[in-house]
Amino acid sequence: MVKRLVVGAHYGIKDWLIQRITAAYMALYTVIFAFAALTLPAMTHEHWQALFSGRLMQLLTFLFFASLCYHAWIGVRDIWMDYIKPLGIRIALHVATALLLIGYLAWVARVLWRL
């Protein structure tokens, strides 16, 4: 068994790219959402719900949250890797973060497609 320093698992460049693709999509969605929300006739339940009842808006919104969860996974994982050194605690935090984010995405999906 050769002992060597592992200097990379090669997920770095993929994560780097995904972090930027998801960011770009979220920025685009933010502008679309801000425009749609600010041009609502009135902030009532009826208008608000109508905004998210369109199939296209539901898809775009879901893609936003999916991007957010992937983006947050990479970002929060990096925070744990930078500051939490004990391996056990770090792995526990990674697992908790991943499970939470998957749960959040499922929650959003339920909210959107129940409309």
For every residue of the chain, DSSP letters joined together read ---------S-HHHHHHHHHHHHHHHHHHHHHHHHHHHT-SS--HHHHHHHTTSHHHHHHHHHHHHHHHHHHHHHHHHHHHHH--SHHHHHHHHHHHHHHHHHHHHHHHHHHHT-
Of 20, 54, 91, 102, the residue at the interface with another protein (CB under 8 A) is 20
Taking the complex as a whole, how short is the minimal distance between the CB of residue 77 and another protein, in angstroms? Answer: 11
Q: Does 115 bind another protein (CB under 8 A)?
A: yes
Pick out residues in 67-96 that bind another protein (CB under 8 A).
Answer: 68, 72, 75-76, 79
Residue with Cβ nearer another protein (5 or 56)? 5
Q: Does 30 bind another protein (CB under 8 A)?
A: yes
Q: Does 42 bind another protein (CB under 8 A)?
A: no
Of 49, 59, 95, 113, the residue at the interface with another protein (CB under 8 A) is 49
